[in-house]
Structure 1
Amino acid sequence: MMNISVQNLNMTYPTGKIALRDISLDIKSPNLIGLLGPNGAGKSTFMNLLTAGLLPTGGSILLDGEPLVHKEKKLKSKLGYLPQSFGLYDELTVWQFLDYMAALKGIRDNKKDIERVIQETNLKDKRKARIRTLSGGQRQRVGIAQALLGNPELLIFDEPTVGLDPEERISFRNLFSKNAQDKIVLLSTHIIEDVQSVCNRLIAINHGKILFDGTPEQLILSAQGHVGLLENQQEEQGFKVTARVNTANGVHYRIVAKQLPFGAQVVEPTLEDAYMYLIGKEGDKQ
């Protein structure tokens, strides 16, 4: 079992940019957590701090009750990480690259482990292919495979399904769900579909602050009464159009609003609606 406690975490870069503001939360295994937020919200900074890639300018992170700065070696032995920009060695084959990464992680029975992650990421027919010959989606699968090496207790994926086709994304969502049965899996994404079906907890961040921390059902419930359909297009005043819906009676407009305009038919929110409503509400406060 792993326990991560984040206490009053702040991060300000030397440029003066404030990336995170007073973040506090606890994460225990098993858990599959979706980290949501627009580009520039602070998600990648948060993950870099969790992996000890950065030191916070305020607050602390505790790993099993002890400061992470004193437990970095312990963390690295239990961590599988796929950053958003992950460099691959183009002249190596998939097998050679995974063998190299296994050596860096100090994995003893590396051949058996490499076979396992190749199987899990559907790379069997590409094991001898040089990485430079792979498609974007295949390269992403190699990145996911290296994170799974060593069967780590903490898996952190930054935009893991970018470049994958719909069938591959479903396959990897199932893989993440399977791993979360006895681990902490943290998925950072802006693709709501990737967290809707598998995550038991959502954390939404924007402008460096936590806007929401709870279950998908709780987030959907927060948007009840704030999502509707309009039969006729109107000037966007006080609401946001999230989709154009083709119906037998013509095009309808799906909207989210703090107060729905006259004539809007109230409908059940989706998770994406609820997320848009949350971000919109926070934007109104800026």
Structure 2
Amino acid sequence: MNITIRNLKMIYPTGKTALQDISLEMNSPNLIGLVGPNGAGKSTLMNLLVAGLLPTSGQIQLDGAPLEKNTKKLKSTLGYLPQSFGLYDELTVWQFLEYIAALKGIKDSQETIKKVILETNLTDQKKARIRTLSGGQRQRVGIAQAFLGEPELLIFDEPTVGLDPEERIHFRNLFSKSSQNKIVLLSTHIIEDVQSICNRLIVFDHGSMLFDGKPEQLIMLARGHVGILQNQSEQKTTQNYQVTARVNTADGVNCRIVAEKLPAASQKVEPSLEDAYTYLIAKEGRKL
């Protein structure tokens, strides 16, 4: 599968510019992390990719054909979990997945449903009504419906929200396994999820694409811009750095910071992906 985006722009009727001049290409297999602050344009991009919105200008092509003329193929190859996903509370998990399978036109769906229930650890809940499920269990149902029918394109908006750490690890592994023959687009605020499994990272802010490349390439950009300030007894009112973590010690607070130019008193350290992401966003926002 190939998805090509050229000079994409999206302006809402309110006048807000959600995306401006976005161009990128996605080919399978690929596991892509989409990150950025709230309001960066991530959800708008996903809505455009699933044909839930039409762009103000620019074009999205699916395997060489304009997406708006290829929606039948898109629906047959798409698995999508939006951030706000409605569930039918009076249905059981199995009944709900049967309903989604029917909407997708999946024939002989019983084995397919069994497979996704097993993959998403919902075996004990398959006969439970959705209204009785916990938040994490409901999220797993949302992930399960996206996997129905072995779609070639999987788009997840904050899929691990509400999951405990063990479940997050399980689903990160599931996403990674699935990406071996699909395009998996994972929008998240949890940088650890991206660092663990994504081979490509796209960073958005204020509707613009700030970075598109491998996670390690972003980390390299932040080398020399991350340090530790030791024994910070009080927060300074004026500073030219961003604090990414604070650790209380007997002698004061040790601060992990990112800066365009590190203070002389700081000790340089190797950046994490979260450090690199913070550095990029702060730099573009002229906060450094």
**Alignment-derived partner of residue 60 in structure 2:** 61
**1:247/1:281 CA distance change after superposition, 3 Å:** same
> Which residue does 2:272 correspond to in 1?
270
**Deviation of the 1:35 alpha carbon:** 0.1
Indicate yes or no: 2:145 matched with 1:146: yes
Q: Which residue of 1 aligns with 2:102?
A: 103
Within 5 A, what are the aligned runs for 1:188-203? 188-203=187-202
The alpha carbon displacement at 1:246 in A equals: 4.5
Per-residue CA deviation, residues 188-218 of structure 1 (Å, 9 max, x unaligned), is 0011011111000000000000000000100
**What TM-score comes out, normalization by structure 2 length?**
0.97
Task: List aligned pairs for 1:87-236, cutoff 5 A.
Answer: 87-233=86-232, 235=236, 236=238
1:152 Cα deviation after fit: 0.1
Partner in structure 2 of residue 78 of structure 1 = 77
**Does residue 240 in structure 1 map to residue 242 in structure 2?**
yes
Stretches of structure 2 lacking an aligned partner (at least 5 in a row): none
Task: Give the root-mean-square deviation of aligned CA atoms.
Answer: 1.3
Q: Structure 1: how far apart are the matches of 2:151 and 2:14?
A: 34
Structure 1, unmatched stretches of 5+, are: none
Distance in 2 separating the partners of 1:250 and 1:14 = 51
Q: CA deviation at 1:232?
A: 3.1
Following the alignment from structure 1 to structure 2, what is the Cα–Cα distance between the partners of residues 245 and 185? 36
Deviation at 1:261, TM superposition (A): 1.0
Code of the aligned partner of 1:241: V
Measure the CA separation in 2 of the matches of 1:46 and 1:247.
Answer: 43
Which is worse superposed, 140-149 or 247-256?
A: 247-256
**C-alpha distance in 1, partners of 2:268/2:11?**
42
Measured against aligned partners, the alpha-carbon deviations of 1:149-195 in whole angstroms (never above 9, x if no partner) come to 00000000000000000000000000000000000000000110111
Equivalent position SS for 1:194: helix
Name the CA distance, whole Å, in 2 between partners of 1:267 and 1:247.
19
Q: Which residue of 1 aligns with 2:34?
A: 35
2 CA distance for matches of 1:186 and 1:85?
Answer: 17
Which AA in structure 1 matches 2:168? Answer: R
Q: Deviations over 1:49-81 (max 9, x none)?
A: 000000000100011111001101100100000
Instruction: Report percent identity of matched pairs.
Output: 75
SS of corresponding position for 1:150: coil
Q: Which one-letter code corresponds to 2:217 in the other structure?
A: Q
Contact kept, 8 Å, 2:240 with 2:287, in 1: the verdict is no
Please give the secondary structure, in 2, of the residue aligned with 1:46. Answer: helix
**Cα distance, 1:245 vs. partner?**
2.6
Match of 1:46 in 2: 45
